Amino acid sequence: MILQLDLLPAREKQNIKLVKIYSFIKKEAWFLFCLLLLLNIFVFYVKKDLARNLLDTDRLLEENKKKNQSLISDIDNFNQKTINFETIQSSFRVQSDLFLKLAPLIPQGINLTAVNLNSLNQLTLEGVYQKRDDLLILKDNLETDFMTDLNFPISNLLTRESGRFSLSGTVADF
């Protein structure tokens, strides 16, 4: 059986513990210092290498620009032509789509004599009708499915049969 004697005073025991902790912290601090120093050296060399690679890349890009100057000017010319083409195409509307949407809305007794669509999607229709009811059906169809702000003068309804009409409005979704 082993007996342990506790002969040191509590203050001395505390000092021994503190010295051990201090030496442990000191060793760890030196280890961290050395580790950080190595990391710093590594980062320094990586930074230098990246800077050198960046300079090489910039130099190669400049050389390639000089070699390919004709291609760059051709590409700029092509881009300008594309922009001009898009500008021209932006104002173009396929009017056959308009007729495909408009045709089912026209009742049997209506004959169109003029169709005009401007760049603001404002449509003007002129024509003749056999019966006033056909013209009212056309007006309802256009207001419901096709046009907004329909301008339908009351003068269109003066004749009960075989009359002329004119109406205008803005085409929706065209």
Is 84 among the domain residues?
Answer: yes
Enter the pTM of the model. 0.49
Number of domains in the chain: 2
Within-domain flag for 5: no
Regions in the chain scoring below 50 on pLDDT: none
Question: Is the domain of 74 the same as that of 109?
Answer: no
Q: Is residue 6 part of a domain?
A: no
What are the tens digits of pLDDT across the range 41-66?
999 999 999 999 999 999 999 998 88
- List the domain range (segments joined by +) for residue 101: 95-171
Q: In the chain, what percentage of residues exceed pLDDT 90?
A: 45
- Among 72, 92, 112, the domain boundary falls at 92
Please tell me the distance from the alpha carbon of residue 25 to that of residue 22, in angstroms, as a whole number. 5
Examine the domain organization and report whether 28 and 75 are in the same domain.
yes
Other beta carbons within 10 angstroms of residue 150's beta carbon come to 15
- Over the chain, what is the mean pLDDT? 88
133 and 70 inside one domain: no
Say whether both 69 and 104 belong to one domain: no
* 3-state DSSP percent of the chain in helix, strand and coil, to 5: 65, 20, 15
Same domain for 111 and 161, yes or no, is: yes
